[in-house]
């Protein structure tokens, strides 16, 4: 099995490389210095050189607040690039897996969002990711569009790592208690994507993949800091505050919970947050290299 991944040093791209190596899958990851991901001809040349059996897009404009003042770059990376990839994959007749986000939803639904629910992003990042989903589906109806949520893990900066940094300099952290979602362990997501890429009956169109349990940001923070204290790492008390206490350039959907019944029915493992928490926090606390 050989897979071509767009994105190299990002959180998911890094874990795709680690998991592929562990599974004996040949994986080539191309970062921004190696390819212009908006250039369809460059993508076709890369496909010709690598001769992969599947393509995965792990590259995106992911700075949610930054996107509000950087619309052209957000749409270039989140719409134009995946559209070009979907076209190239269609041309080369290769499976294409594109990664999207819970932020295509407004966040006001009572209960988890299914693949059939109407989208209505509340920020520019979400609008650019939704434009990417639509462009991919139009260019390549066989593409898999995998919406994920609250991605965390050992490989890059994320909410869990930020908590440990904040706790090392403060005794109390104010964390929002009205944002709700399913933390998704990046290595588990990478594993699921690599499995999906090789499935004989790969799901086409939208599929939600996220962790096995939903929680608020403040409960997530409490669990992370308790694990850190167990491993001799930084600890701080968590004070519940509403999102309205933290004005940010980009609005956030309050309910980011994805319904993962479809992924579950297809046999994907959806690990609980606690399953990986202790080992991952221990590794972060010890500063272990990945």
Ligand X SMILES: NC(=O)c1ccc[n+]([C@@H]2O[C@H](COP(=O)([O-])OP(=O)(O)OC[C@H]3O[C@@H](n4cnc5c(N)ncnc54)[C@H](OP(=O)(O)O)[C@@H]3O)[C@@H](O)[C@H]2O)c1
Q: Which residues bind ligand X (CB under 6 A)?
A: 7-13, 31-32, 37, 58-60, 62, 77, 99, 101, 129, 148-151, 156
Any idea of the CA torsion for 38, 44, 45, 49, to the nearest 10 degrees?
130
Let me know if 185 is a catalytic residue. no
Of the pair 200, 212, the CB lying nearest ligand X is at 212
Q: How far is the CB of 74 from ligand X (least distance, A)?
A: 10
Question: Cβ neighbours of residue 36 under 8 Å, at least 6 residues apart?
Answer: 42
Nearer to ligand X, 15 or 232 (CB): 15
C-beta closer to ligand X: residue 129 or 217: 129
Closer to ligand X at the Cβ: 99 or 224? 99
HEC sequence for 179-224: CEECCEEHHHHHHHHHHHHHCCCCCCEEEECCCCCCEEHHHHHHHH
Beta strand pairing call for 237-241 and 54-57: unpaired
Q: Which residue has the tokens 């965390």?
A: 152
State in angstroms the smallest separation of the CB of 138 from ligand X: 18
Nearest distance, CB of residue 81 and ligand X, angstroms: 7
161 vs 222, beta carbon nearer ligand X = 161
Cβ atoms within 10 Å, residue 195: 16
Q: Which of 38, 43, 106 is nearest to 74 (CA)?
A: 38
Which tokens is 101 given? 């986000």
From 125, 180, 185, 209, the catalytic residue: 125
Specify which residues 237 forms β-bridges with.
172
DSSP per residue, 90-147? HHHT--EEEEEEGGGS-S--SSPBPTTSPP--SSHHHHHHHHHHHHHHHH-TT-EEEE
We find the least distance from the C-beta atom of residue 99 to ligand X, in angstroms, to be 4
* Position with the least CB separation from ligand X: 10
135, burial (CB in 10 Å: exposed 0-12, middle 13-18, buried 19+): buried
CB of 169 to ligand X, least distance (A): 23
Q: Name which of 109 and 231 has its Cβ closer to ligand X.
A: 109
CB of 5 to ligand X, least distance (A): 9
Q: Phi/psi class of residue 270: alpha, beta or left (left: φ > 0; alpha: ψ in -120 to 50)? A: beta
Assigned token pair, 28: 């080539």
Catalytic positions are 125
């Amino acid at each position: 099995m050989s897979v071509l991944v767009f994105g190299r040093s990002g959180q998911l791209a890094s874990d795709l490389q680690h998991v592929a190596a562990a599974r004996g899958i040949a994986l080539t990851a191309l970062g921004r210095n190696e390819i212009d991901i908006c250039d369809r001809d460059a993508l076709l040349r890369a496909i010709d050189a690598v001769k992969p059996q599947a393509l995965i897009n792990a590259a995106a404009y992911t700075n949610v607040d930054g996107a509000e003042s950087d619309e052209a770059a957000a749409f270039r990376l989140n719409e134009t690039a995946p559209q070009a990839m979907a076209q190239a994959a269609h041309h080369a007749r290769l499976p294409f897996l594109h990664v999207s986000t819970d932020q295509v939803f407004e966040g006001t639904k009572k209960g988890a969002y299914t693949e059939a629910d109407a989208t209505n992003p509340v920020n520019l990042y979400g609008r650019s990711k939704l434009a990417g989903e639509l462009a991919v589906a139009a260019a390549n109806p066989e593409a898999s569009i995998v919406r994920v949520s609250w991605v965390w893990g050992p490989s890059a900066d994320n909410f869990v790592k930020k908590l440990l940094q904040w706790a090392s300099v403060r005794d109390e952290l104010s964390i929002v208690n009205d944002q709700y979602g399913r933390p998704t362990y990046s290595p588990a997501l990478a594993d699921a994507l690599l499995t999906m890429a090789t499935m004989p009956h790969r799901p086409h169109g939208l599929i939600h993949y996220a962790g096995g349990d939903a929680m608020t940001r403040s409960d997530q923070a409490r669990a992370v800091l308790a694990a850190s204290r167990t491993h001799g790492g930084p600890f701080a008390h968590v004070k519940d505050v509403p999102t309205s206490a933290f004005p940010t350039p980009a609005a956030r959907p309050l309910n980011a919970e994805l319904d993962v019944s479809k992924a579950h029915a297809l046999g994907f493992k959806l690990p609980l947050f606690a399953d990986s928490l202790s080992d991952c926090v221990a590794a972060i606390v010890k500063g272990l290299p990945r």
